[in-house]
């Protein structure tokens, strides 16, 4: 894959000022997903960067699902979907946390992660890191091991990677 193709794909991310609230510059990946070549390049790059020994992908609702499902399929791995509250019939564990905007809760489904299983966390954007830190807590509570975090875009000024110490964070682009 050429870095030009990847750069072109990343260039499709739309920046929306003051969404969902004043002062937030929202990074919208919708145009990337809508472009077949860009979507493929992005998924392939994230799949290629999964840490060796990863045996499942954990994806975070909602944008993380899109990427996580494609990456898991491309890599021949299982997919664990960490969900927002009220969606799962059987919850293993739940964690609440603060976002760049507002607060949120995530839940891990029962019978997904096995003790000792090595999982990579996938999402679109790493901002404050609250979401991936909560997901790490869910994984580790179930006895899983986080091999790494993979995102398209990292907002470095929010220092999200500091919220997951000891975990390798890979971003296709950092801003």
Ligand X SMILES: O=P(O)(O)OC[C@H]1O[C@H](OP(=O)(O)OP(=O)(O)O)[C@H](O)[C@@H]1O
Contact residues for ligand X, defined by CB under 6 A:
60-64, 99-100, 104, 123-131, 160
Other Cβ atoms within 10 Å of 2 Cβ, number: 8
Q: What residues numbered 92-111 form the site for ligand ADE, per CB under 6 A? A: 100
Alpha-carbon torsion angle 78, 74, 41, 2, nearest 10: 120
Choose one: 18-26, 43-51, 73-81, 109-117; the region binding ligand ADE (CB under 6 A).
18-26
27 binds, among ligand X, ligand ADE, none (CB under 5 to 8 A by kind): ligand ADE
* Shortest separation between residue 125's beta carbon and ligand ADE, angstroms: 4
Q: Tokens standing for 105?
A: 């809760």
Query: Contact between 149 and ligand ADE (CB under 6 A)?
Result: no
Query: Contact between 26 and ligand ADE (CB under 6 A)?
Result: yes
Residue (30 or 48) nearer to ligand ADE, CB: 30
Query: Contact between 171 and ligand ADE (CB under 6 A)?
Result: no
Residue (128 or 147) nearer to ligand X, CB: 128
* Shortest separation between residue 28's beta carbon and ligand ADE, angstroms: 7
* Sites of contact with ligand ADE (CB under 6 A): 24-27, 100, 125, 127
């Amino acid at each position: 894959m050429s870095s030009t193709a990847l750069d072109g794909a990343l260039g499709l991310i739309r920046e929306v000022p003051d969404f969902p609230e004043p002062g937030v510059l929202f990074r919208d990946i919708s145009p990337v997903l809508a472009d077949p070549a860009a979507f493929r390049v992005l998924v392939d790059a994230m799949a290629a960067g999964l840490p060796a020994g990863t045996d499942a992908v954990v994806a975070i609702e909602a944008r993380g699902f899109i990427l996580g499902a494609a990456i898991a399929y491309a890599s021949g791995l299982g997919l664990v979907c960490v969900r927002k509250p009220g969606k799962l019939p059987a919850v293993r564990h739940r964690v609440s946390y603060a976002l760049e905007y507002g607060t949120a809760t995530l839940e891990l489904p029962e019978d997904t992660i096995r003790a000792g299983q090595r999982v990579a966390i996938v999402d679109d954007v790493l901002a404050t890191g609250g979401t991936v830190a909560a997901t790490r807590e869910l994984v580790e509570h179930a006895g899983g091991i986080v091999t790494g975090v993979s995102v398209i875009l990292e907002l470095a000024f929010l220092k999200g990677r500091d919220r997951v110490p000891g975990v390798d964070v890979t971003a296709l682009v950092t801003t």
